[in-house]
């Protein structure tokens, strides 16, 4: 009996030690927190899958991702900075990068990553005063999607290439329950992202909206809404909402990006659609989109950098770009994308990239963006005439640039 008790005691002690050792082993993995704002479920699944493979590949760090809605992302990042409650790593909209880098939120990673093969524009968005504060995740742009069946039913045989042709086409496609065109017009960066191609198509820049060209762009949007060819509800629609309206048959044409393609193919496999260049005023235009990784200064920088080293490898980049419908910011990887016939539609976005511009880079870009989005929102809701909205926006922009 005593021997059995002694053996039991030894076994109990060994088990306890084993449990403690296991606990120590589990807790030894340092937590790395990553914030992102993607609302698309496919994007979220892809990110979590990549994080899962990283966590399984080593036992030093454990990355967890947190979704922060786009509308709250900037606020949460700013509040977190003042309260010293920031993540270790963020995936953020590229035009916001310079703003937060100037505030000292992001770590200097110059020399820690080789970005020599990356496209110049995305790298520039993560650079401030020749210091690299991040790594481009991937890039994209906007183009015009259209419903082929609706075009056929309306007797439309050619895609619109000019604003006048777009207005005429949108009017023909607008019927009971269907509007001809939609694009996200939220009063935030997502809305500005969708408006600036129209502004830039006139030859105006982001900084001279109170010009004949700038007012013409605002008037163009007003005319679409006033004619009924575009719903005023666009001021409440995210890019995801616009896509849902398109695949539901409530919208005949939409301006959107390639990241919607995987979801559209999954949720509406029988939808007959195609993509073309955004119609022009005086010149074709689009906007470079995409996100950057940024390491937060003062957090677990070593762990964040270790994950970034993994996430920027060819295998992981290719996986994420394929799942999300993005174009790799690494030109060498991008050159090998879209090789199959099924990927032909993506090549149209690559063609559109030839006419795409970046927003900024400017530390004060968020303020400029707010002025622009307020202007087209006021015009779309009828609370201001284009000339008045342009003058108000220009006053704000001028004050920002004069600092």
Residue 98 three-state SS = helix
pLDDT at 81: 78
Residue 22 has pLDDT above 90, yes or no: no
On average, the pLDDT of the chain sits at: 91
Q: Note if the bond before 110 is cis, omega within 30 degrees.
A: no
Hey, CA dihedral for 35, 333, 128, 324, is it positive or negative? negative
Residue 350 has pLDDT above 80, yes or no: yes
pLDDT at 15: 39
**Cα distances (angstroms) measured from residue 89 to each of 40, 66, 77, 228:** 20, 11, 11, 44
Residue 181 three-state SS = strand
Mean pLDDT check: name the lowest of 57-61, 66-70, 81-85, 399-403: 81-85
Q: What is the mean pLDDT of residues 195-221?
A: 98
Mean pLDDT check: name the lowest of 42-46, 85-89, 288-292, 332-336: 332-336
Q: What is the mean pLDDT of residues 86-111?
A: 95
Residue 7 has pLDDT above 60, yes or no: no
Domains in the chain, CATH or no CATH each: 27-140+289-357 (3.40.190.10), 143-287+364-401 (3.40.190.10)
CA end-to-end distance (rounded Å), the chain: 86
C-alpha span between 140 and 334 (Å, rounded): 11
Q: What is the mean pLDDT of residues 114-121?
A: 91
Scanning 58-162, the segments in alpha helix (DSSP H) are 70-83, 97-102, 120-125, 148-153
pLDDT at 18: 42
Q: Binning pLDDT at 50, 70 and 90, where does residue 167 land?
A: very high
pLDDT at 74: 85
Q: Binning pLDDT at 50, 70 and 90, where does residue 99 land?
A: very high
Residue 11 has pLDDT above 70, yes or no: no
pLDDT at 382: 96
pLDDT at 16: 42
Q: What is the mean pLDDT of residues 274-278?
A: 98
Q: What percent of the chain has pLDDT over 70?
A: 93
Q: Which residues contact 182 (CB under 8 A, 6 or more apart)?
A: 230, 231, 234, 237, 242, 245, 246, 251, 253, 254, 255
Q: What is the mean pLDDT of residues 381-402?
A: 97
C-alpha span between 386 and 354 (Å, rounded): 29
Residue 314 has pLDDT above 50, yes or no: yes
Mean pLDDT check: name the lowest of 27-31, 42-46, 234-238: 27-31
C-alpha span between 30 and 63 (Å, rounded): 8
**Cα distances (angstroms) measured from residue 98 to each of 217, 292, 361:** 27, 11, 6
C-alpha span between 285 and 124 (Å, rounded): 20
Q: Which structure tokens are listed for 11?
A: 């076994």
DSSP-assigned beta bridge partners for residue 37: none
Q: What percent of the chain has pLDDT over 90?
A: 80
């Amino acid at each position: 009996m005593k021997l059995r008790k002694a053996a039991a005691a030894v076994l109990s002690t060994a088990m306890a030690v084993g449990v403690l050792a296991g606990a120590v082993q589990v807790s030894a993995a340092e937590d790395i927190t990553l914030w992102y704002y993607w609302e698309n479920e496919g994007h979220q699944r892809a990110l979590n899958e990549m994080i899962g493979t990283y966590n399984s590949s080593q036992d030093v760090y454990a990355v967890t991702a947190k979704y922060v809605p786009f509308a709250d992302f900037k606020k949460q990042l700013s509040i977190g900075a003042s309260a010293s409650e920031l993540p270790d790593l963020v995936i953020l909209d590229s035009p916001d990068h310079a703003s937060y880098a100037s505030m000292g939120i992001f770590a200097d990673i110059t020399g820690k990553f080789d970005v020599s093969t990356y496209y110049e524009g995305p790298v520039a968005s993560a650079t401030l005063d020749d210091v690299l504060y991040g790594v481009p995740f991937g890039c994209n742009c906007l183009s015009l999607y259209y419903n082929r069946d609706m075009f056929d039913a309306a007797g439309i045989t050619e895609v619109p290439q000019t604003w006048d042709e777009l207005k005429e086409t949108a009017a023909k496609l607008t019927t009971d329950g269907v509007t001809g065109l939609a694009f996200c017009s939220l009063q935030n960066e997502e809305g500005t992202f969708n408006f600036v191609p129209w502004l830039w198509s006139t030859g105006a820049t982001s900084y001279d909206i109170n010009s004949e060209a700038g007012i013409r762009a605002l008037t163009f949007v007003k005319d679409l809404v006033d004619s009924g060819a575009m719903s005023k509800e666009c001021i409440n629609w995210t890019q995801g909402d616009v896509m849902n309206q398109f695949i539901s048959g409530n919208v005949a044409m939409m301006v959107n990006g390639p990241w919607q393609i995987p979801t559209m193919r999954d949720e509406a496999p029988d939808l007959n659609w195609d993509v073309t260049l955004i119609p022009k005023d005086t010149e074709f235009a689009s906007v470079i989109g995409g996100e950057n990784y940024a390491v937060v200064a003062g957090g677990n920088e070593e762990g964040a950098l270790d994950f970034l080293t993994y996430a920027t490898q060819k295998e992981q980049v290719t996986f994420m770009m394929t799942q999300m419908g993005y174009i790799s910011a690494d030109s060498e990887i991008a050159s090998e994308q879209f090789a199959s016939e099924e990927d032909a539609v993506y090549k149209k976005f690559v063609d559109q990239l030839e006419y795409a511009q970046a927003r900024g880079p400017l530390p004060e870009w968020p303020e400029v963006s707010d002025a622009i989005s307020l202007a087209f929102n006021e015009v779309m809701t009828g609370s201001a005439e284009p000339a008045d909205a342009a003058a108000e926006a220009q006053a704000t922009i001028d004050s920002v640039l004069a600092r």
